[in-house]
Amino acid sequence: MNTWHERRLRHASAKEVAKKFAVLSGIVGQVSAMGEHDDRAPMTLRRALRAPEFWLLVVASIAATVGVRWWVTVPLVVAGLSIASIPKFVALWPRAREVGAELEWWKTIAMSMFNNLGCACGVQMVGVFARCSDEFQRPGIDGPVRGTPTEGWSRVVYR
């Protein structure tokens, strides 16, 4: 049987939902103030160079450029970005539970994972495009010559 509190949450008015959202927004501000650097501060080169996420994306892009397959880099980047964001989500959990916003908390984590997946795919594509542009910008003396079909169609052979 559902408790009175559960039924009330299910039929919450728009005003109550807005109040929960305001409380959660305030929590995000408090969490960023607790962290090492403020998320609202403008991004500078110095801040980017100190962020582990930046170096994760640079290394993944270089790995894709040298030929590491997507099924290696994409899961590793998603895992790395997810691990980097764990402290923020863990700090949000007690307050979200206090105001009855567990579902919103899980939605936030799902959206973060989707964002991480998109970022990982984007970094992989940047590396692949860098590798492809490098192959076609360095022709040999007589220009690129396609190899035989047994060598593979994606390879460019130089004399």
**Could you tell me the two tokens for 16?**
């109550």
Distance from C-alpha of 104 to C-alpha of 74, rounded to nearest angstrom: 26
**69 or 133, which is more confident?**
69
Q: What is the pLDDT of residues 33-51, one digit of tens each?
A: 444 455 677 888 888 888 9
Average pLDDT over residues 72-101: 93
- Residue 145, classed as helix, strand or coil, is strand
Overall pTM > 0.75: no
**How does pLDDT run across 53-62, given as a tens digit for each residue?**
999 999 999 9
Could you give the dihedral angle defined by the CA atoms of residues 109, 114, 115 and 121, in that order, rounded to the nearest 10 degrees? 150
**What is the pLDDT of the chain when averaged over all its residues?**
76
Enumerate the domain spans of the chain: 4-129
Over 70: is that where the pLDDT of 159 sits?
A: no
Between 13-17, 25-29, 115-119, the lowest mean confidence (pLDDT) is in 25-29
Q: What's the full length of the chain, in residues?
A: 159
Integer angstrom CA distances of residue 142 from 38, 73, 136, 146, 158: 55, 36, 13, 12, 8
Which pLDDT score is estimated for 34? 43
Q: Which residues contact 125 (CB under 8 A, 6 or more apart)?
A: 64
Q: What is residue 40's predicted lDDT score, i.e. its pLDDT?
A: 73
> What is the predicted pLDDT for the residue at 117?
97
Q: Answer whether residue 74 shows pLDDT above 90.
A: yes
pLDDT at 4 over 60: no
Burial zone of 118 (CB within 10 Å; 0-12 exposed, 13-18 middle, 19+ buried): exposed
